[in-house]
């Protein structure tokens, strides 16, 4: 099931996305929230009539750095071993935007980069999750863009500003709950031109590894998100660009870059 969060006439709701033709998608409004047992109301609205919101409002986004060998190498870093502890960092809840929202180019950077990533959406409160229970705590998957001020990332020891500024975490367009994430294409285009193309099979650390590692340290809450790292091909964004992240089996997350007002 594809679960979207949206607003219509000032009301916010979740809906199940139905249909296959992009122009004819409809939302069957969900009674309740997708983190508990829920029912579909049968009340349907065309997707074209609503504003898509970020599919979840995470308490935290835990992100993983350098989880694809070719990407680590392209930035001139040593490629991590699968036995190395993954690099983890946070993107704040205030960085999250939905598909169709604008990425606001921050004033303190001259080098904004796109990073297309598979995002894991957590479905239930969990900590110290054993490997064999990981699938039970995952609601589904969505597309993410770990937008990064690369110059600031180089300049400052911690990545909080470089990767945590407002609008730096586009998520969407919806959460796909029925998906095997182990071998999916991840693509990023800018103004229709392909920049990144990778496969989730090339992750250094698996989703199971990441959930075990993160929840060893902290409780994850329903709606929390894990960004699993980006494949090679990261590159610059400029004001006016339209950046799109497409993941096989999920859909396309599209955002325009504007000057921060």
The residues of the shown chain that bind Mg ion, judged by CB under 5 A, are: 115, 146, 230
17 φ/ψ angles, rounded to the nearest 5 degrees: -85, 125
CA-CA distance, 101 to 28, in Å (whole number)? 23
Q: Which is nearer to Mg ion, 68 or 105 (CB)?
A: 68
Residue 110 CB, shortest distance to Mg ion, in Å, is 19
Name the H helices within 60-142: 69-74, 134-137
Residue 148 CB, shortest distance to Mg ion, in Å, is 7
Instruction: Give the residue carrying structure tokens 């349907």.
Output: 44
Contact in structure between 16 and 39 (CB atoms under 8 Å): no
Residue 194 CB, shortest distance to Mg ion, in Å, is 18
Q: Which is nearer to Mg ion, 146 or 176 (CB)?
A: 146
Q: Which is nearer to Mg ion, 99 or 145 (CB)?
A: 145
Contact in structure between 28 and 40 (CB atoms under 8 Å): yes
Residue 111 CB, shortest distance to Mg ion, in Å, is 15
Bridge partner residues of 151 (DSSP): none
Q: Which is nearer to Mg ion, 115 or 224 (CB)?
A: 115
**Three-class SS state of 177:** coil
Q: Which is nearer to Mg ion, 168 or 230 (CB)?
A: 230
Q: Which is nearer to Mg ion, 101 or 115 (CB)?
A: 115
Q: What is the DSSP string of 102-124?
A: EEEE-TT-S-EEE-EEEEEEE-S
Residue 228 CB, shortest distance to Mg ion, in Å, is 9
Q: Which is nearer to Mg ion, 4 or 61 (CB)?
A: 61
Instruction: Give the residue carrying structure tokens 């609008």.
Output: 167
Residue 58 CB, shortest distance to Mg ion, in Å, is 16
Nearest in space to 127 (alpha carbons), one of 35, 62, 227, 218: 218
Contact in structure between 204 and 222 (CB atoms under 8 Å): no
100 φ/ψ angles, rounded to the nearest 5 degrees: 95, -15
Residue 161 CB, shortest distance to Mg ion, in Å, is 15
Contact in structure between 51 and 8 (CB atoms under 8 Å): yes
**Sign (positive/negative) of CA torsion 82, 65, 186, 35?**
positive
Residue in the shown chain whose Cβ atom is closest to Mg ion = 146
């Amino acid at each position: 099931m594809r679960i979207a969060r949206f607003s219509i006439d000032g009301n916010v709701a979740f809906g199940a996305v139905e249909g296959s033709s992009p122009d004819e998608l409809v939302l069957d409004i969900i009674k309740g929230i997708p983190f508990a047992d829920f029912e579909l109301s049968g009340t349907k609205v065309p997707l074209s009539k609503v504003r898509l919101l970020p599919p979840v409002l995470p308490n935290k986004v835990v992100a993983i750095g350098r989880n694809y060998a070719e990407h680590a190498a392209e930035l001139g870093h040593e490629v991590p071993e699968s036995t190395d502890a993954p690099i983890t960092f946070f993107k704040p809840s205030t960085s999250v935007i939905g598909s169709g929202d604008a990425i606001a180019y921050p004033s303190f950077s001259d080098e904004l980069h796109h990073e297309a990533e598979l995002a894991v959406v957590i479905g239930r409160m969990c900590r110290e999750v054993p490997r064999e229970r990981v699938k039970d705590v995952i609601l589904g998957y969505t597309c993410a863009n770990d937008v990064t001020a690369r110059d600031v990332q180089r300049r400052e020891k911690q990545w909080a500003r470089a990767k945590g500024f407002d609008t730096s975490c586009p998520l969407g367009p919806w959460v796909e709950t029925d998906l095997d994430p182990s071998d999916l294409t991840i693509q990023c285009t800018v103004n229709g031109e392909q920049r990144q193309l990778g496969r989730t099979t090339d992750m250094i650390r698996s989703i199971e590894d990441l959930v075990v590692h993160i929840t060893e340290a902290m409780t994850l809450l329903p709606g929390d998100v894990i960004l699993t790292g980006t494949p090679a091909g990261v590159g610059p964004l400029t004001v006016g660009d339209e950046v799109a992240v497409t993941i096989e089996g999920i859909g396309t997350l599209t955002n325009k870059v504007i000057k921060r007002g």
